[in-house]
Amino acid sequence: MSMSITRRTTLKAAGAALVGAASGVVGAGRAAAAEQTAAGSTVVTYPIPSGIPTNTAFTVKVRPVGGTWETLGVYLAKLPLIDPLTGRNTAQNSSTAYFDFSGTVEVEVTYTKGAFEKARIRPDSYGITPEVLGSTLRFTLDRPRNLVIQLDDKIFDCLHLFANPIETERPGEDDPNVVYFGPGVHTHPDRTLKVSSGQTVYLAGGAVLTSNVIFEGVENARLTGRGMIYNATGGAIYVHDSQNVQVEGITVLNPRYNTITVAESENVKITSLRSFSHLGWGDGIDIFCSENVTIDSVFLRNSDDCIAIYTHRWDYYGDTRNITVKNSTLWADVAHPINIGTHGNPDPNAPEVLENLRFENIDILDHREPQLLYQGCIAINPGDGNLVRDVKVDGMRVEDIRWGQLIHMRVTFNPKWNTAPGRGIESVYIKDLSYTGTHADMSVMLGLDAEHLVKDVTFENLVVNGRVIRDSGGKPSWYLAADGVPMFVNDHVRNLRFLTTAEAAAAR
């Protein structure tokens, strides 16, 4: 870097230059707008800085109940559409906007391209039904939400709307341990921002940083705020060989590769992150050889795996354990919403383990992958000597996907990625998983051979289009319960169970 950030660096509203005019910093125009009503509801909105692409397909307004409407800026988000015959990736235009609030607010969304026949606010589990007034929708919110407003089933020309809580712990601009970016566009000459131990990087609402943020060999460091990382030249955020790192509240648009890599690190917390990618290798969150990672309340719409959990790859070595993903929404325009175990250490003298993996209260909105080997809303694919064990899912709702499988659980030896087979999959408990739709292909559960098994997998209250899949009852006695998914299970799977909630309780 041409500039140290070990000292205090403050960049305020109006786009104060980080390294002078040559840095490409652009003024914000105005600061955040806020309104509070007598009833105590508050709305905070943020302008889009000059020079950042917008999308005019939607006009979005928000107000405290009984207050004055505020118009939100709507960012242009790019999303991928893969041609299955050529593999060509054609970028599609979409929209995203955000605001902060407390109490209860009204939201009004107008589709500027004209009338529509039906409207849907996703995830469906939120149960939000809007009032339709011509080309405008109106609805209320009484809690933070990550929403997709979808008209006439349009996959790309939709609005991603993020309603945040009011910030309560904004770091001080004069704190010597804070790198503060106010509203405006901020660019480092080498487009790399290295964070030191004990430091907080703060992106205020309306701030746009066009640099990668690097946590390497540090501890007790944080990236937070309501701002955005835009057009990062590589992976937007990199956490390596670090401890006690937090990433919270920001949005990542159009990274060149993935949004966050966590490697050989411990005690990492990623909260309320929003991510959109459209280029190849555009994963959301990748975890390698790390422990005690919590991912909470994120929205990921990506051009590769939304969440991928691995052990060894490149120069990273070690087990991966104690990973929790909860209260989140995943949309994979390419590859998997959740992928576990593909990469590891093929050395038979140093095999690695992925264990104690938890997924709680997850909505999967879509999955589109033409390649059969890379399908699965939940994919557990250990290769390269990996053993995956002690995986628990508790509360996952999968809406109708475009192309793929609900479950792909397979001990893998894929020569494209592996030089050795995975060791196995064991002790997987999936509770309250539901799929509602018609496009899912046949799921699979495949051990590799008698030495590389899938074993001890239990589904409790697996519901497919309203039907509980169970070993006992609800089917002819000569059918397999897996036929109801449908799921192909090979001869190298042991102790697979499909239980109702009552049966599972009785077995405990």
Provide the 10 A C-beta neighbour count for residue 72.
21
Q: State which H helix or E strand residue 92 sits in.
A: strand 89-102
Note whether 124 and 162 are within 8 A (CB). Answer: no
Tokens linked to 335: 């590859």
Per-residue pLDDT tens digits for 446-466: 999 999 999 999 999 999 999
Measure Cα distances from 374 to 161, 336, 357, 362, 431 in Å: 29, 7, 20, 20, 23
Per-residue pLDDT tens digits for 311-368: 999 999 999 999 999 999 999 999 999 999 999 999 999 999 999 999 999 999 999 9
Tokens linked to 501: 């909630």
- Residue 31: per-residue pLDDT: 63
**pLDDT classification of 377: cutoffs 50, 70, 90:** very high
Place of tokens 């998983």: 433
Of 301, 305, 294, whose CA–CA distance to 329 is shortest? 301
Determine the 3-state secondary structure of 504 from DSSP.
helix
Note whether 271 and 248 are within 8 A (CB). Answer: yes
Note whether 247 and 237 are within 8 A (CB). Answer: yes
Classify residue 38 by its DSSP letter: T
Please tell me the number of Cα atoms within 13 Å of 248 on its side-chain side.
17
Rounded (10°) CA dihedral 124, 435, 292, 255? -60
Per-residue pLDDT tens digits for 160-204: 999 999 998 889 888 999 999 999 999 987 999 999 999 999 999
Tokens linked to 187: 């660019």
Q: For the whole prediction, is pTM greater than 0.75?
A: yes
Per-residue pLDDT tens digits for 57-87: 999 999 999 899 999 999 999 999 999 999 9
Tokens linked to 349: 């003298």
Residue 368 CB-density burial (10 A; 0-12 exposed, 13-18 middle, 19+ buried): buried
- Residue 34: per-residue pLDDT: 73
**pLDDT classification of 15: cutoffs 50, 70, 90:** very low
Average pLDDT, the chain: 92
Tokens linked to 353: 């383990």
CATH 2.60.350.10 fits 33-165, yes or no: yes
Q: What amino acid is encoded at 291 in this protein?
A: E
**pLDDT classification of 473: cutoffs 50, 70, 90:** confident
Note whether 76 and 24 are within 8 A (CB). Answer: no
What are the residues whose beta carbons fall under 8 Å from the beta carbon of 383, sequence distance 6 or more? 341, 342, 343, 344, 412, 413, 414, 417, 418, 420, 421, 422
**pLDDT classification of 40: cutoffs 50, 70, 90:** confident
Measure Cα distances from 304 to 187, 257, 308, 341, 483 in Å: 26, 9, 9, 15, 29
Domain residue ranges in the chain = 33-165
- Residue 39: per-residue pLDDT: 64
- Residue 24: per-residue pLDDT: 31
**pLDDT higher than 90, residue 5:** no
Q: State which H helix or E strand residue 133 sits in.
A: strand 131-133
Q: How far apart are the C-alpha atoms of 123 and 104, rounded to whole Å?
A: 19
**pLDDT classification of 223: cutoffs 50, 70, 90:** very high
Q: State which H helix or E strand residue 503 sits in.
A: helix 501-507
